[in-house]
Amino acid sequence: DGGITQSPKYLFRKEGQNVTLSCEQNLNHDAMYWYRQDPGQGLRLIYYSQIVNDFQKGDIAEGYSVSREKKESFPLTVTSAQKNPTAFYLCASNRVGGSSYEQYFGPGTRLTVT
Amino acid sequence: QQQVKQSPQSLIVQKGGISIINCAYENTAFDYFPWYQQFPGKGPALLIAIRPDVSEKKEGRFTISFNKSAKQFSLHIMDSQPGDSATYFCAAIIETSGSRLTFGEGTQLTVNP
């Protein structure tokens, strides 16, 4: 089955620790995205990448970092500099040159930092 | 800056009723307006989308109405069912300049049996 895999589903960390969220896709999509979802605030774009070894900051990139070494993988690191990291994180992908409005989302990772 | 405003934040409808969710946008450069549906614990999935040169688009029980002059669009769910209970997000994109979607705040819909 083609799709996007995010792991783990739930993640718990202590304040001050960096944590990396995994995102893998086997849809052969060029573009990948990371969103943060908080109640009442919709989906806010953290980082996106349209090609391997290149990525751009989204609207709320501070305190986050990403890498795109392979087409299939787009891991997100939540650093200790992120002031309020507890949230639901969603990874998405789509084809460059296709219907840009149709993004395919993974099941999400719920991160809790205490 | 929030460029797509969505209302209401939550909505409760009886089975068989009509659910209506509204969105307003600011940037007239947006050229595609999709709606996403998200079930609890899942990622959103594309439900239906419309271009601004079309006033209405219908797919089954779901209809998008678009008012270009008012810069508003809405989702209507006819004959709402308990299985429609989910969070709905409107979004907007400038397709010709990249793939960045701008999402509304979301509406949590509950359809009571």
pLDDT in tens, B38-75: 999 899 999 999 998 999 999 999 999 999 999 999 99
Q: What is the mean pLDDT of residues A28-42?
A: 91
Asked if B71 and B28 count as a contact pair (C-beta separation under 8 A), the reply is: yes
Residue A78 has φ and ψ, to the nearest 5°, of -95, 110
What's the pLDDT at B9?
95
Task: List the one residue out of A95, A97, A112, A111 whose CA is nearest residue A33.
Answer: A95
Backbone angles phi, psi at B83, to 5 degrees: -70, -10
Confidence at residue B60, expressed as pLDDT on a 0 to 100 scale: 96
pLDDT of residue A32: 95
Q: How many CB atoms lie within 10 A of CB B93?
A: 23
Percentages helix, strand, coil for chain B (3-state, rounded to 5) are 5, 55, 40
> Looking at residue A97, what is its pLDDT?
72
Q: What distance in Å separates the CA atoms of residue A108 and residue B101, rounded to the nearest whole number? A: 18
For residue A32, the chain B residue with the least C-alpha distance is B99
pLDDT value of position A90 = 97
Higher pLDDT, A103 or A39: A103
In angstroms, the separation between the Cα of residue A90 and the nearest Cα of chain B is 7
A109/A34 Cα distance (integer angstroms): 11
* Chain A nearest CA to B106, separation (Å): 5
| Residue B59 token pair | 């797919």
- The per-residue pLDDT for A2 is 67
